[in-house]
Amino acid sequence: MVKLKATATATKTRKRKIICYDGIGSHVSGIHTRKNFLRRMLRNTRGERRRCSKSGMRNQYPALCNHPSAGNIKGWIKWSGALLESKESCSKMIEAGKRANEERARLAKIPGTKEHQVVLDNIAIYKKTFPGKPIPNSWREHLTNAEQAKLKFTA
């Protein structure tokens, strides 16, 4: 009698980690594949990398010109501040970030809050830096009617 070996093929399903990044040039959902993330990073930093290689900017601004090499995905993740997460975890983090930004925008409209003071400080800095230039309209929504009446905005 021949004994047959029992072969157990236990398949482990490993959750695939994706790149979670919601910075400049990111996908709206914040979820990226490795290939997509690398393509976006290279496209977003093309001008900086070109300027750093041609001129003496690398010596003058080392932090700005310290890009990882083109195929170094781990370097780009570290450089951009992205995270390797599961898809569900990334979605939760992106949603939490959006809610926090909405709350900050809501508080910026209320006089007396720290966020509102930040808007007023930014306007003061803008007026000192660019005297005579009108203030961008996007800042208007954070001000009361009385504050808007005192300032000159773009048309």
Report the DSSP beta bridge partners of residue 153: 135
Selection from 54-58, 71-75, 144-148 with the highest mean pLDDT: 71-75
Residue 3 within any structural domain of the chain: no
Give me the pLDDT at residue 155, please.
52
Mean pLDDT confidence for 35-48: 85
Domain C-terminal end among 62, 80, 100: 100
* Greatest Cα-to-Cα distance within the chain, rounded to the nearest angstrom: 99
- CA-CA distance, 21 to 28, in Å (whole number)? 10
Q: Is residue 77 part of a domain?
A: yes
Segments in the chain forming alpha helices (H)? 34-44, 46-54, 57-60, 73-80, 87-108, 114-129, 145-150
Dist. CA 155–CA 152, nearest whole Å: 9
pLDDT attached to residue 47: 77
Q: Are residues 27 and 53 in the same domain?
A: yes
Query: Within a domain: residue 10?
Result: no
Identify whether 43 is part of a domain. Answer: yes
- The token pair that represents 82 in the structure block: 């992205």
- Specify the pLDDT at position 142: 77
Average pLDDT (73-88) is: 88
Tokens of 31: 């979820």
- Over the chain, what is the mean pLDDT? 79
Q: Mind spelling out the 3-state secondary structure of 32-64? A: ECHHHHHHHHHHHCHHHHHHHHHCCHHHHCCCC
Q: Which domain holds residue 140?
A: 109-155
Interval 38-48 mean pLDDT: 84
CA distance 32 to 28: 10
Over residues 35-39, mean pLDDT: 91
Predicted confidence (pLDDT) at residue 98 exceeds the cutoff of 80 = yes
The pLDDT assigned to 32 comes to 92
- Label residue 2 by pLDDT band (50, 70, 90): low
Pair 29, 96 in one domain: yes
Burial of residue 37 (CB within 10 Å: 0-12, 13-18, 19+) is buried
Does residue 71 or residue 88 have the better pLDDT? 88
Position 102 confidence tier, pLDDT thresholds 50, 70, 90: confident
Query: 45 and 22, same structural domain?
Result: yes
Would the pTM count as exceeding 0.85?
Answer: no
Q: Is residue 6 part of a domain?
A: no
Q: Tell me, yes or no, whether 86 lies in a domain.
A: yes
Task: Name the domain count of the chain.
Answer: 2
CA-atom Rg of the chain in angstroms: 24
* Residues 53 and 113 occupy one common structural domain: no
Residue 9 lies in a domain: no
Mean pLDDT of 88-109: 84
∠ CA 75-78-81 to the nearest 5 degrees? Answer: 145
66 and 126 share one domain: no
